[in-house]
Amino acid sequence: MKLLSISTVALLIASVMGQNATTSCDPSACKLPDCLCPSTSPPGGLSPKDVPQFVTVTFDDSIQPELLDTAYELLNVTNPNGCPAKGSWYVSMQYTNFALVQEWYAKGHEVADHTFTHVGQPSAQEITAARAMLYEYGGVPLGNIKGFRAPFLNYTANTLNEISRQGFQYDSSSTAITDDCYWPYTLDNGLANDCWTGVCGTPKLPGVWEIPMYAVVDSAGTAQLMDVYLAGSVADVTQWSNTNFERHYNGTRQPFGIYIHPTHLTAYTGTADPSAQREGVVNFIKSIASKKDVWFVSNEQLLKWMKNPVPASQLAQQDYMKCDLPNIGKEICNGLEGLTISNGAVQGSLLNSCSFATSNFATCFNCPSTAPTVDNPTPSAASSDRHLVADNCDGVWWDPIAGECLCQNATCVFNETYTPLTTQ
C-alpha cells in the first residue's frame, strides 16, 4: 500500500528513486491498442519531437460550487486547436452536488471514481457505490466512468484487482519520479511503479491501464506529488514546476501532471487566503500553455491517444480532441442549462432539490427517498417523473424529463459498454 501526505511523497519513495521496475514485458508480444509495455519512450515508435506534450490537470474529492469555480479558473486556457482545456475529476460522494457533476461532464471533462466516503484501501462496495451514484444522480453513463484513483493514493494489489473486476479501463494512483517516469502502460505484466511497496510485477491485469502520477522533484531532491503549491513559496514552486516540465518537454515527452485538491486553492471564511498559491498555479499553467505542441487533456483523452498514437500535427483532427457542444434545439436538464448558485445551493428551473439531514444536492433525476449510504447508494426514488439515461444515449443528449434521447445522427450515437457485476 501507499501512505502519502497531501503535498509530499513519502520519504521511502525518494530513497529508492533509482530502483528499476521488477516487471518484465515483451514488446513484440504486447502491442497496441490493447497492450503496452512500460517505457520512457513515446508509444508507436514516434520521435519525441513529433509527440504532443500532454498536460493533465486533475482534481480530487467532492464537486461543490466554489471548488468547481476554482477548477474552471485553472483550466482557463485553450489548446492549439482552439478548444478549451479539459480536466479529470476523481469524485468522492460526500458533499458532492450532482447537478455540478453533470455540468462538468457535459462540458467535455472527465468524471472518474474516487470512492463513496474517501477511504484508503477501499472495499469493493466503496468503489461500486460511487460509480452507481455518478450515474443515478449525475447522469454519467456507467461505461464512461472509466478511471479510478485511490483516496490518499493508498492502494494495494487487491485494489487494482477490484477495479479490473468492476470493468474500469484505468487506474491513476501510482507515482512516477525519474527512473520510473513511464508513459501510461497496461498491467498485462503487472505494475512497474511504486516498487518500494513490493507491488511491482503484480497484479497481472490484461488490458487495464496504469496512468502514473508524475512527481515534481524539488530543489532538495524530494518528490512532490499532490498539491505541490503547498510545499514551498510561490516562487520556489514555480521554479520546481518549470524545471520538471522542461525535463518532460525537452526529453521524451511523458505527460506532465498537475494534481489538485481544489479545497486548498479555494477561499473560505476563517481560513488562510489561498489567492497567492492559486494565482501561482494559474500563471504557471498559462506559461506552459503558450509553448508549441502543449495540450491540456483529461486522462480519458490521453488514454485514447495512447491506444492509437498520432503525431502532434494530426492531433487536432482526432474526434476526441474536438469541442463541439450538442445543438439540441431546446433547453433540457443535461448539465448545459443555466444554473445559479445562491448561498451555496445550486438552483435551476429543471432541477430537483434533494435534502437530507447530512447531505443536500441538486440533480436532474429523481431524488432518493432516503439519504444515500455506502451500502445503499441509490435508495428507491422519492418520485418517478424523471428517467435514468438510457443505454443507447450519452447523458448530454438525454432529456430525463421526457425520457427521450435527442441524438439524431451517427456523430452522437452512444452504446453503453458497461456490464453490470453479477457477484459482489
Kind and range of the H or E element at 54? strand 53-60
Examine the pLDDT at 411 and tell me if it is beyond 80.
yes
Q: What is the pLDDT of residues 270-301, one digit of tens each?
A: 999 999 999 999 999 999 999 999 999 999 99
pLDDT tens track for 90-144: 999 999 999 999 999 999 999 999 999 999 999 999 999 999 999 999 999 999 9
Q: Of 289, 323, 285, 215, nearest to 70 (Cα)?
A: 285
SS3 for 315?
helix
Residue 83: partners with Cβ closer than 8 Å, 6 or more residues away: 321, 322, 323
Give me the percent of the chain exceeding a pLDDT of 90. 86
Helix H or strand E encompassing 56:
strand 53-60
Mean pLDDT of the chain: 93
Instruction: Confirm if 394 and 414 have CB atoms less than 8 A apart.
Output: yes
DSSP string, 77-125: -B-TTSPBP--EEEE-STT--HHHHHHHHHTT-EEEE--SS--SS--HH
Q: Is the pLDDT of residue 320 over 90?
A: yes
Cα separation values, 137 from 127, 233, 326, 368, 417, Å: 16, 40, 21, 9, 19
pLDDT of residue 21: 47
Place of cell 514552486: 237
Confidence of residue 408 (pLDDT cuts 50, 70, 90): confident
> Which of 12-26, 156-170, 333-347, 395-409 is predicted with the least confidence, judged by mean pLDDT?
12-26
Distance CA 88, CA 105 (A): 9
- Categorize the per-residue pLDDT at 166 as very low, low, confident or very high, splitting at 50, 70 and 90: very high
Q: State the Rg of the chain over Cα.
A: 21
DSSP state string for 372-388: --SS-SSPPBS--SS-P
pLDDT for 342 = 87
Question: Are 140 and 364 in contact, with CB atoms under 8 Å apart?
Answer: no
Q: What is the torsional sign of CA 181, 182, 187, 192?
A: negative
Contact 337, 346 (CB under 8 A): no
Of 125-134, 138-147, 255-264, 336-345, least confident by mean pLDDT is 336-345
Above 80 in pLDDT, residue 2?
A: no
Whether the predicted pLDDT of 223 surpasses 80: yes
Segment holding 242, helix H or strand E: helix 234-249
Q: What is the pTM of this model?
A: 0.94
Q: What is the pLDDT of residue 343?
A: 84
pLDDT category at 240 given cuts 50, 70, 90 is very high
At residue 25 the predicted structure's pLDDT band, cuts being 50, 70 and 90, is very high
Q: At what angle do helices 275-289 and 234-249 cross, to 10 degrees?
A: 20
